[in-house]
Homo-oligomer: A and B are copies of this chain.
Amino acid sequence: MNSSPSQLVSLENVKDLLDSTEAFLFDCDGVIWKGDKLIHGVPETLQLLRSKGKKLVFVTNNSTKSRKQYANKFLSLGISVTEDEIFSSSFAAAMYLQLINFPQHKKVYVIGEQGILEELQLAGFTALGGPEDGKKTVQLKSNCLFEHDKSVGAVVVGLDQYINYYKLQYGTLCIRENPGCLFIATNRDAVGHMTDLQEWPGAGCMVAAICGTTQKEPTVVGKPSTFLMDFLLKKFDMSCSKMCMVGDRLDTDILFGQNAGCRTLLVLSGVTTLSALQDSSNKTHPDYYTSKLSDIFELMQP
């Protein structure tokens, strides 16, 4: 962890940062967009970095979409990004199960949205729950037994705007009653910019609810866990010291970058305010900070 004060991005240090960085890792919400609105100046800045030969990777904790859905979202905002450049926590959940050789005959129950189901299915796993269970209700009646699938071997919990008591009971029963059932969290973000105007409960809400009923702690595959980073390193064959993580959250993005040994740049266009960064209670100090990503573009203009 870097405990020295963070530097405001300037003409001098931005050149230095560009010279010494081969890959930029970007968080999306609060850095690239807010909800469905692009943040000012992002396309030009990404273009500038690409023109300088930098590798770009988009690392998002938002599990509601698959990589394919994210690529479409980028395109709809006028930015061309390939699926290969996207690492979402939905994808991370599927990659984690592959890595641990999760048996193909076991099923995965999902508290979350379409993105998790899609990535699990792409990776060859049988997933149930998710959006399909969003309209289900329970009957708290005498002699009514709530049945669950005994072949579920993992419960993946992510952000779920259709969270309900049915899903909470289903996930809880699997974790409590199926021997060895895994409890995997895409991430634990407390809130997120699900819309441009305000924040909404994040995956941390649903994950905490399941911790509350099962009294167990999950394996987290998204930021700030380094699982995704280990995966990235293998894929790109690059040293962490040549990477810079750009994000708007101290507790996930910056910590994630620091955990992995990357340089870190905090942008104030998302959830973190300057006063939160500078508050004496804050122990996470990025190497650099700036108001928004396009400050890099502005500074680099001749």
Residues of chain A whose beta carbon lies under 8 Å from any beta carbon of chain B: 35-37, 138, 140-146, 160-165, 168-169, 172-173, 188, 190-191, 194-198, 200-202, 204-215
Contact = CB atoms under 8 A, between A and B. Distances in A.
A209 B213 contact: no
Contacts of A205: 168, 172, 209-210, 212-213
A202 B163 CA distance: 15
A188 B163 contact: no
What does DSSP make chain A's interface, helix, strand, loop or mixed? loop
Contacts of A144: 195, 197
Given A190-B215, A197-B145, A213-B202, A165 B168 contact: no
A155 to B, nearest CB: 13
B140 A200 contact: yes
Contacts of A211: 208
12 contacts: A36-B142, A138-B161, A144-B197, A145-B198, A163-B168, A165-B201, A169-B200, A201-B213, A202-B213, A204-B212, A208-B211, A208-B212
> Of residues A197, A200, A210, A212, which shows the largest number of chain B Cβ atoms within 10 Å of its Cβ?
A212
